[in-house]
Chains A and B, each alone.
Chain A
């Protein structure tokens, strides 16, 4: 027997109570794991770059910009590379199966964000030849069950073809993986020249320009410089980092980060109260035994250590179960939900377990310390 096994025995002496407590902790860590994986995943802004700038019309994202701005943007000092994107939103098969298509100039996109998207020269070459070729993100390809060489039809919501209809047929030329697991790959990249030539309206207009700043300049400084350049033109711009852009987009619906923090915070505050209450109750039940241990010579430090190890054992067990379930959910949920259970999520979870153990163990430990031996024996 050791101090650890003594603490473990104390923790498990009432199995039903221990199991309920562990389930309670596991649920809180499951909520933490899922929400944090969501925040760190492809459906949130956290994976977006802060170094790449997106330029849209100052009048709103719905207003397109003329492609002629390209040369003026390229002339601005400290612009290392510039590209452009026209968006085509639609669905495959049924309307709820929404698909986003970004039509881009492939070599320019490669320069600006090829690394982030995981674009390779081989993928770029695969786009040569037929203009209706597309590159599909790994998450989208897996979710739809698409493979290279397959022809797919996207029905656009509002981009009509000159020939009539909204059905756009593409041939899948390759699949890109993204630089990291948290890179959004739930979309496809088409050739701008094809979409631009075939669409019925909005010829030579783009939804956004994307700019890669040179290493010598801060993205924020360059963003201000770009907007200043166009402020008095017919097409004033709003330049933001990709991350700011995405955050602003998500904030149209809700402040996801705030909601997640509130949910996790509420879960942990509730958990803190439950565990503290249960532990204090458990320690009070054992007042007599603590008196016995003190009589045998166990010091205040030993008693505190026993209570803290007991709490840590329960929290660690519950937390591990919760985080394991969150990890499993992230693996099984599929790419559509964009859950990424990263090492950072795990490390933060372990840190929360330690902090929670100390926070919940401190009060019961102090309560145990304050029990005079003589009073403890009177509780029998």
Chain B
């Protein structure tokens, strides 16, 4: 066997890490890094980050290693917070087209005696599988957390979602990040009698129902179960509601609806958001957008444009990025780079895939930036972290050095070798 090629396939950084420190060391001082804190655009040249017990303890240029704590020389490379993978069903899907492996969408239309049409109590994180291969495939590219939630299509209120850390644990949700998912607009018209006015009508009916006492519901058609009413009522006390919606007129409707019903909307998609950017900024509504979306998939998206992120940022709107794909969430970094090419400031683009999404979902103190007290989820890059020719070379989650291996790197290493003596199925990297 040609060991040379296999050895080449391993990144040199992973090797040096393995040699420099015991595997899975919890405590480490990273030195000589260009630290992108993702907070207020702060960059620390020749920076040091001390990790102890899974948390970031100190960040600066003159941090020293406490006794017994190993150091890791970053050799001047860029260190960022672990990246956001977007709003995507990570851990809820193995193969998208294989129903037996997908868990994010609730559709009870085929089930008997399931009259309630809205199920806010649906919480797909309970189906999360940390062994799902997209988790590691994207983690080795620096994706350490994401908004894992319900996919639309089955109901206007699709269910809930939570921020999850992709550290391989069975309990990935970051507590306090509960978010309700709604999908409105052209794609949901079949759920509202074929009019988008029907969407607001049904949602208002649901909100009334959630707030009603039991007696007043007697004789009324009910959209939800008792448990569902309870869940929705909780979100109507200032909770976060992620609304997938794109048309400018719909965005304004959602802002009005949110004010009247006491929830905090977050716009997902929002192709037309730039047209009503001032209203969105005034209402302090964040927008999670796809920086690569510039074509009208349908008439809701006529406003889609590549400089959207810059326009919203300039208008004072809080922005984060998502592509919505669990298998290729690693591509979000490329999307952020494209936002820079189209006018966004570099540090704002990095924030849009690190600290800002964490803040949007109420977890800015836990993940998303390199600040004292944060969970130590960090990525070291071969070059400019937003550049497509850069790759992740080392990764820590909760302070633990993570193996830079996935099913894909193993397939690569199996087939990289030329003319093996035995069938490749004997090569087990």
- Are A and B a genuine interacting pair, yes or no? no
Using a CB–CB distance below 8 Å, which chain B residues touch chain A?
none
Using a CB–CB distance below 8 Å, which chain A residues touch chain B?
none
